[in-house]
């Protein structure tokens, strides 16, 4: 199935290692497009970026969001300190400036889901000593549109001894319900995919019954009770529509402990914006590190607005420009983008699968070696032949 529509991608290399990992993604996307005649095209934008800020005094053009809205997806390398760290005279911006386009895109295009899978893949570094950690396979879903990230507040009497800073968190029932429902849908889908692959996982419930999938909700309701209670109530309401999916609740601090102690016990995890942010760096490390951790920011309701695909890692200024960055996370992220665009185009969905499998096979075969960014790209390109 292909409705003949060309998919247009805005490619944003960004800062630091961003351009290096994006280069590998584009090599592989070109190969897939040429081999399979994919109806895919992309444009490389030199903004948002710190370099663009240096030239124009802002991270992106004033109508940047409007321009980006014309695309079907955004593939982003990284934003932040461009490095190299050893150059003290490099042009560096405060994080709040260099990273703000990320938040503007997430909010502007209502990318309310952030999906961060954390699966211990063969060949990836296993930081945890317990051999059961090899079975870690979870999907952390982060609320991406509100919560702690609404950016409301201010500073009163700035710089004076009596200064007051406020930072308001906003949780809506609407936003809560949609992210929790999305988590249940994904859990159900994961169970179906496991069945199709002849695998099963079982999650024991409090009443001793068992389910083949599970959603764990994260809160801090023992201290942050208002949104914590609302999350809990909405979770229970939504769960009633999914009797086939198991449920569990963890406080964020206990979840951090259990992610390290027994990450293989989690399936789908759903968390608020900030708690999900913190938890996904931890999840990335316990499943191989930031070099292999993909991420995407999705608007599942409105595909006329672009979703954004960027790995969990940042601009890594310590290794920027040295051909040392691991492009694996970027490549898994690019595969996820093809899969997303492939919802209405089976050729893209097949290309997504082929790319994902090639990256995973390369990791399994060579993950223990230290290789350059381009050498990893070369090896995966070879697998696509
Ligand atoms: C992430 C990042 C961003 C976030 C920063 C750069 C604003 O940490 O994508 O996880 O907090 O969302
Ligand atoms: Mn983060």
- Write down all domains in the chain, each with its CATH number in brackets: 1-112+295-385 (3.40.718.10), 126-153+169-287 (3.40.718.10)
- The residue to mutate among 95, 100, 102, having the most atoms of ligand 1 within 8 angstroms of its beta carbon, is 102
Residue whose CA lies nearest to ligand 1 atom number 6: 99
Res 344: pLDDT: 87
The pLDDT score that the predictor gives to residue 131 is: 98
Q: Of all atoms in ligand 1, which is nearest to the CA of residue 310?
A: 9
Contact 259, 278 (CB under 8 A): no
What angle (nearest 5°) sits at the alpha carbon of residue 227, between those of residues 224 and 233? Answer: 120
Residue nearest to atom 4 of ligand 1 (CA): 277
CA–CA dist 295, 298 (Å, integer) = 10
Whose Cα sits closest to atom 11 in ligand 1? 277
Residue stretches of the chain with pLDDT short of 50:
1
Cα separation, 286 vs 119, in Å, equals 9
Supply the pTM of this predicted model.
Answer: 0.96
102 Cβ below 6 A of ligand 1: yes
Contact between 141 and 179 (Cβ < 8 Å): yes
pLDDT the model gives residue 2: 54
The conformation of residue 199, written as its DSSP 8-state character, comes to -
Distance of alpha carbon 164 from alpha carbon 177, whole angstroms:
33
Q: Which burial class, exposed, middle or buried, applies to 51 when counting CB atoms under 10 A from its CB (0-12, 13-18, 19+)?
A: middle
Proximal ligand: closest to the CA of 102: 1
Mutate to test the pocket of ligand 1, among 18, 99, 149, 274 (most ligand atoms within 8 A of CB): 99
What is the edge-to-edge ordering of all strands in the sheet holding 296-298? 40-44, 7-14, 73-78, 307-309, 296-298, 113-119, 137-143, 268-271, 214-219, 246-251
């Amino acid at each position: 199935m292909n409705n003949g529509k060309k998919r247009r991608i805005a490619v944003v290399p960004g800062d630091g290692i961003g351009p290096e990992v994006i280069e590998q993604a584009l090599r592989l996307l070109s190969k897939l497009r040429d081999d399979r005649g994919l109806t895919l095209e992309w444009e490389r934008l030199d903004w948002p970026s710190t370099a663009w800020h240096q030239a124009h005094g802002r991270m992106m053009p004033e109508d940047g969001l409007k321009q980006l809205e014309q695309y079907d997806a955004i593939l982003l390398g990284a934003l932040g300190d461009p490095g190299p760290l050893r150059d003290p005279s490099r042009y560096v911006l405060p994080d709040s400036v260099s990273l703000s386009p990320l938040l503007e895109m997430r909010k502007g295009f209502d990318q309310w889901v952030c999906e961060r899978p954390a699966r211990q893949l063969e060949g990836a570094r296993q930081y945890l000593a317990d051999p059961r950690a090899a079975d870690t396979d979870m999907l952390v879903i982060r609320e991406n549109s509100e919560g702690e990230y609404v950016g409301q507040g201010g500073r009163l009497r700035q710089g004076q001894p009596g200064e007051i800073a406020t930072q308001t968190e906003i949780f809506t029932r609407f936003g809560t319900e949609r992210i929790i429902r999305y988590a249940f849908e994904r859990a159900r889908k994961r169970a179906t995919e496991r069945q199709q692959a002849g695998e099963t996982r079982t999650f024991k419930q409090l009443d001793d019954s068992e389910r083949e999938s599970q959603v764990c909700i994260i809160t801090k309701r023992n201290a942050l009770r208002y949104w914590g209670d609302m999350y809990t109530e909405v979770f229970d309401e939504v769960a009633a529509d999914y009797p086939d999916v198991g449920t569990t609740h963890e406080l964020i601090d206990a979840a951090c402990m259990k992610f390290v102690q027994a990450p293989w016990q989690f399936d789908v995890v759903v968390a608020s914006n900030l708690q999900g942010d913190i938890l996904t760096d931890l999840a990335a490390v316990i499943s191989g590190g930031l070099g292999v951790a993909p991420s995407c920011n999705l608007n599942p309701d409105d595909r006329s607005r672009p979703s954004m695909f960027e790995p969990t890692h940042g601009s890594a200024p310590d290794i920027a420009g040295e051909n040392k960055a691991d492009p694996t996370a970027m490549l898994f992220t690019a595969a996820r983008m093809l899969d997303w665009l492939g919802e209405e185009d089976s050729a893209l969905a097949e290309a997504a699968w082929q790319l994902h499998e090639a990256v995973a096979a390369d990791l399994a075969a060579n993950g223990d070696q230290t290789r350059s960014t381009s050498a990893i790209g070369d090896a995966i390109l070879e697998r696509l032949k």
